[in-house]
Amino acid sequence: MAGVHAAKHVENRRHKQKGDAVQSVAGSVDTVNRKMEAAVSAA
């Protein structure tokens, strides 16, 4: 039973890392969009 629990724990952690990576990419896109908007309004 303990082995099953450990496997589930690893899977959850992997899933969380994936979520963090997705958030990181979304944040980068958001930053780029803001820079583009700033450049457009400055032009």
Q: The pTM is what?
A: 0.50
Domain count, the chain: 1
The full DSSP string for 1-40 is: -HHHHHHHHHHHHHHHHHHHHHHHHHHHHHHHHHHHHHHH
Question: Residue 11's domain spans which residues?
Answer: 1-43
Amino acid 9: pLDDT: 81
Can you tell me the distance from the alpha carbon of 39 to that of 27, in angstroms, rounded to the nearest whole number? 18
The tens place of each residue's pLDDT in the chain, 43 residues long, gives 677 787 788 888 888 888 898 899 999 999 999 999 999 998 7
